[in-house]
Amino acid sequence: MEASFTKLWETCTWRQSYGANDLEESQLNQEYLKEGSVFVHNNDVDGKPLLIFRVKLHSKSKNLDELIRIVVYWVERTQREQHLTQLTIFFDMAGTGLATMDLDFVKRIVETFKQYYPNTLNYILVFELAWVLNAAFKVIKALLPPKAVEILKMISKKDINQYITKDNCLASWGGEDNYEFSFVPEAKKVTSKPVAANAGDDEQFDKKGPNLERESAVGSVLVTRLHPEEVGPSVA
């Protein structure tokens, strides 16, 4: 129990310092965001959103902190928009060679999910891994905890439909979806301010609102940490 509360505290501290709850596209590297190397589109067979990494578009010269910030943005945005606690990571390795295979980036992705989103992953799908990258991927696999290895699947066009239906597969994966990535800003929710009896009460609502929202978020994290069986496999 003590370990669970320690992890909860560490996660809450990180979320506050990182600004995870309020992360917006304006705070991100626009070039990285709009090139489409990381984005969310469609769902797996269980209805979980696909967080897609098109590895061939990656460059080892990119700033890893800014890339991870984009990963966090997509996770947070997906949870806000779809009210889901899980998603599937899809590493699109088609056309990827040693020049774009960045072990440091993959390690950072693994550590981010392991530390701050331990029960978020439904599957980790690795699509069309070239044989020249097998050795590198063994290194990555060794970084994963046992429960993450269980949901790690190496797939190709022959068996991708076991995890993603044909209508949810991009054409480049052998599917029916001709989608081409184009970044669409997140729709902003318009919330009406509570009707106040006087100006003093109105000010009080303004002060209490954010606190109540943060308390709700903390409660959600607590359930995830202390009752992981309710939300699926953990990568911790």
> Which pLDDT score, from 0 to 100, does residue 234 have?
53
Secondary structure (DSSP) of 195-211: PPSSHHHHHHHHHHHHH
Range(s) of the domain holding residue 156: 2-230
How do residues 171-217 score in pLDDT, each as one tens digit?
999 999 999 999 999 998 765 444 444 444 444 334 444 444 444 44
Q: Is the pLDDT of residue 85 over 70?
A: yes
| Residue 173 domain-assigned (yes or no) | yes
Q: Is residue 131 part of a domain?
A: yes
pLDDT digits 0-9 by tens, 32-66: 999 999 999 999 999 999 999 999 999 999 999 99
For residue 19, being part of any structural domain is answered with yes
> Regarding predicted confidence, which is higher, 223 or 123?
123
pTM: 0.80
Edge-to-edge strands, sheet with 87-92: 38-43, 49-54, 87-92, 121-127, 152-155
Number of folded domains that form the chain? 1
The label of the residue with tokens 């699109």 reads 92
Backbone φ, ψ for residue 207 (5° rounding): -80, -35
The verdict on residue 235 lying in a domain is no
- Domain assignment present for residue 236? The answer is no
Q: Give the CATH number for residue 33.
A: 3.40.525.10
**30 is a domain residue:** yes
In a domain, 221, yes or no: yes
